[in-house]
Structures are given as structure tokens and as C-alpha cells.
A = this chain, B = another copy of it.
């Protein structure tokens, strides 16, 4: 274990270049607040922002709820400083939008889970604060109609779509059962909900008018079943609270199989349909807690134990079968078995089934080139070399 908590300075801030250089031990929340103090936004938003750190965010290529607009952490970092396995320090802290003078080495360490070196500081991209924000909670008949609405919305308001979070009715029910203060934002029940946020440099009136127009079309053609638009910030925060509490509510309920998959956007409805059918065949009374960043093609697909079965029994009985089946469905759609949660130990060996020999060999070539003694996060992220070599036969 390595703690960089005391390496937590903001080394520099350049509001004209819209960048700041932050050390690895600063928490994401602190970095966001330091940006806000300069009238800027650092947009990465994940549940753990109070404890996760600016070194870990690139190392794990963090995602979260703002990827649809701003991209993953990979897209939010212009440069990194890294301690390499041989003790050399690579100063890659360039704050440039364009630089074609060699391999873009920072991408080795972003999403590398610490296996090639340790990120000690990063150049973060900042953005202007949006002038207006509109937040709404919508009810849909199906993932298909939610996706159609996303496509329409992107056509009409483009990059102003700042979040588009799908929530299954089971996920909402779970939050309502666990959080005494939470209330459903809609009076009608729907099988699926979407928390949508638009953020824009236009005037609030203009943004709301455009959103209401698109929403009206959805209500009239029946694709949207019910809708609530936040009238005040407290209202919007209550919508977000529901979304953010799903994961905790699930932990407290106990007995969830958690799959963090992504597929091309167009495949989202088919994925959910096939994966649900498969899970209900394996464990018929599972509660289908499904939510996630549908605007990025990323679904947290987390079947939960039936009310009458213990967590331990359910997991023992179903966990492997569900994971295997759901991952296979995602892979058949050219998807990923870990959209944002990474590999670590838990998914390491599964890579042997979902990656080609060529790709795993390329990964090992990198590892051996940079860390021949296997000092950095050994045993994680990469399936064992012998197992990769065995794929040849």
C-alpha cells in the first residue's frame, strides 16, 4: 500500500489556459473546489469524490456521471508526472492542447492501475462554468424509448447534454425503501426512469424552452410517460440524491451481483433485454437493479437477491453463472466487461476469455519493457504470463 495523501498541493493554476497542476494526494473534491474558486469547473464527478485522489483518478481512468459531455479522466488530463519502476521521474506535466513530438506516453499510465509507474501529479483541464442548468426526471416505457429520446435530445441540444442516467424501477424502489427522506419525483410509476441534466452557456430561459419543446414531443408521442423538471436547485439535488444512493442502497440490501458493462449505444436495449432474460433463467426471482450512464453505453447491471433468499446463498448459487452470462452477452455485442471499474484482481483472469492473445501479449510487452522486475502492483491487472502464452496453442 502506498499513500500519497501528504503530496496534496495545487502546484499552479492557469485560468487563461484552463488548466491546473495538482499533486496526487489532493482529493477530487478539493481539486473541484480549487477550480471553482477560480470560476472554473473540473468536471469529473464520481461518488467517492471526498476520498478518492487526483493520482488514483488517472491511474484508474475514472468515469462517472459527466462522461457524456466531458469524457473520462483520460480526456481530462493533459499531462502527468510519474515515478517509474527504476526510480526515474518522468516529468510529463505539459499543459498543451497539441503536441506531436513523440508517443503520447501519458496514456500508458492513465488506466494502467499503477502497473507501470506511480502518478505523482497531473495537469487537469478546466472548463467555464455553465451559465444555466436544467435537470429533469423522466419516466419511460423501455430502454428503447429512453435511448430514442437521448438521440433526439443530442440532435437538438448537442453537447449541452451533461448527464443521461438510466434507472430501473427496481433501483428507484430500493432507494425509496432505504432512504426515509427520499420520494419519487414522479406521480406515475414507470418501468424505467432517466435523470437528465443539460448544462449550457445559453440563457436559462432559452435552454428550458428548447428542453420543454423536445420533452413535449416525447410526451405527445407517448415515449415519455411522465416528467418532472426541477424548479429549484434543491429539487435537482433531490433527483441526484436518488441516483447517487442506488449503490449504497444495494450494499445495504446485500446480495448483489455487480456487472459494469459497456456496449455501443445502439446495443443498449438489446443488451438489457438479453441480459435480463438470461439472469431470470438462472435465478427467476432476482430483482433487476439496473442503472448507469446510458449516454456513454455504460450500464451497471446488478441483479439483487430475491427478498426470501439470504445474500450468501444467492451469491453462492448465482454469482459466477450471472457474471459469465452477462459478460458473454456484452462481449457478443463488442462490448466491455469493465466499463469504468477497472480490472484489479477481480477481473484479471476473465481477460483471458474476452481479450485476444495478440492484445494480452501487447500488454505484457509494455509491462516487461517498463517494469521488468514486476515491482509495480504485481499480480494485478494482467493475467499471468504463462496463461497468456498458453493461448497460443
Residues of A at the B interface (CB closer than 8 Å) are 14, 16-19, 60-61, 63, 67-68, 72, 74-75, 84, 88-92, 94-105, 107-108, 110-112, 116, 127-128, 130-131, 147, 151, 154-160, 200-202, 206, 210, 262-267, 293, 296-298, 334-343, 347, 351, 354-356, 358-363, 365-366, 368-370, 381-382
Contacts and interface: CB of A to CB of B under 8 A. Distances in A.
Contacts of A264: 14, 16-17, 19, 95-96
Contacts of A267: 17
Contact of A112 (B103, B200, B298, B340): B103
A61 to B, nearest CB: 5
Identical chains bound together, number: 2
A174 to B, nearest CB: 24
Contact of A351 (B63, B95, B101, B382): B101
Given A84-B358, A358-B90, A103 B98 contact: no
A111 to B, nearest CB: 6
B97 A296 contact: yes
Contacts of A356: 90-91
A334 B90 contact: no
17 contacts: A14-B266, A16-B264, A63-B98, A72-B97, A95-B334, A96-B297, A96-B339, A97-B265, A98-B293, A98-B298, A102-B111, A104-B111, A105-B359, A105-B362, A128-B155, A155-B201, A160-B201
A359 B92 CA distance: 8
B99 A201 contact: no
Contacts of A342: 100-101
A305 B84 CA distance: 46
B355 A365 contact: no
B147 A16 contact: yes
A92 B262 CA distance: 15
Given A157-B201, A262-B96, A105 B363 contact: yes
Contacts of A266: 14, 16-17
A368 B298 CA distance: 36
A100 B111 contact: yes
Contacts of A67: 97-98
Contact of A336 (B89, B99, B381): B99
A351 B92 CA distance: 15
Contacts of A112: 103
A18 B265 contact: yes
Given A88-B358, A160-B201, A265-B18, A336 B101 contact: yes
B108 A355 contact: no
B17 A101 contact: no
